[in-house]
Chains A and B, each alone.
Chain A
Amino acid sequence: MMAAMTPNPYFFIVIFVGVALVFPLVPLALAWLWRNFFQPPKPGADKNAIYECGVESLGEAQVQFRSQYYLYCIIFLIFDVEAVFLVPFAVAFTGLPVGAFLSILVFLLLLIEGLVWAWSKGCLSWAVKG
């Protein structure tokens, strides 16, 4: 008797799946019915145009960027992250012991070394080629 009254435990998952399907489908179906039987369609040149914040769209969407921009990005990212370490150094500057000061100087030296290396490699000059 009890076994007949207790449903299969997976039966609840079936209910969940059913609700999960019906819940989004009913509003969508209502909207579809509404669109087809009540709301007259009003397409237009502006309404079908590409949205660009109210401005008329110009040119093609497929714009090419020079791959050299990638180098600038990488260099910027590296120095940007390292600037984060310089901020606590600057804040605690007056209270720093000599050892900490020297180690941050080494860090700065490494930074400048990297910059000089990138410069000597020609990463900072924008090569204009056809």
Chain B
Amino acid sequence: MTDQIDEGLRSELQRQGIWVTSMQELYNWGRKNSIWPLQFGLACCAIEMIATAASRYDIARFGGEVFRPSPRQADLMIVAGTVTKKMAPQIVRLYNQMPDPKYVISMGACAISGGPFKQGYNVLKGIDRYIPVDVYIPGCPPRPEALLHAFMELQRKIDSQKLTGANKAEHLDPNQVSEFPIPAFGAHDLEPPANPDVFRPMKIERTQ
């Protein structure tokens, strides 16, 4: 690939006052510095998310302060808190209603796996059973710095996404699905309990 300019040449040009960029860099630079999260909190992690948006931690430094109250205008879904089985269909529907490209941060132990409430009869054991997650933040709840770290990781991911070629970003692929089936209440549990297209749990293999 010759779409990348040599780094040494670029810094040399910059020293001479010539700034070289590509369409991809410019586009990703704009995208990663204007991530609009969905204004959406579920439990105590949401309080940390609010603290992240407030003046002390100030997510506006990273361009993410525009919390949108509608999924139509949001790029990022921060699943902040315990996902109950009653709430899970709404979360998947909101995710479906977000326009591409869309990203998900799974914030806190509950959103990752159910956390301390994992054994609860009405707690979803991780939002990644239904929607694809980009960044996981451990913690109960994670501190605002951890959310900022996840935000920076997401920015790094967006920055590395290709716009052309074989390895181009998933959302530019016309065959990539943008909506996922919404679970419904069954007799005992949500139906289906997980979306096999999305949920690929790690398998423990014992070798003895």
A interface residues with partner B (beta carbon < 8 Å): 38-40, 42, 44-47, 49, 51, 53-56
Contacts and interface: CB of A to CB of B under 8 A. Distances in A.
A104 B61 CA distance: 54
A39 B97 contact: no
A43 B93 CA distance: 14
Contact of B90 (A44, A47, A53): A53
Interface stretch (B8-16, B50-58, B171-179, B198-206): B171-179
Given A46-B182, A51-B72, A38 B163 contact: yes
B93 A46 contact: yes
A44 B174 contact: no
B28 interface: no
B93 A40 contact: no
A47 B172 contact: no
Contact of A47 (B70, B89, B173, B179): B179
26 contacts: A38-B163, A39-B171, A39-B172, A40-B172, A40-B173, A42-B100, A42-B176, A42-B178, A42-B179, A44-B96, A44-B178, A44-B179, A45-B179, A46-B179, A46-B182, A47-B96, A47-B99, A47-B178, A49-B97, A51-B71, A51-B72, A51-B97, A53-B94, A54-B89, A54-B91, A54-B97
Interface residues of B, number: 21
Given A39-B172, A42-B100, A54-B89, 8 more contacts: A39-B100, A39-B171, A42-B174, A46-B93, A46-B179, A49-B93, A51-B71, A54-B97
Interface centre among A39, A42, A56 (most CB of B within 10 A): A42
Contacts of B171: 39
A47 B96 CA distance: 6
Contacts of B178: 42, 44, 47
Contact of B96 (A39, A46, A53, A55): A46
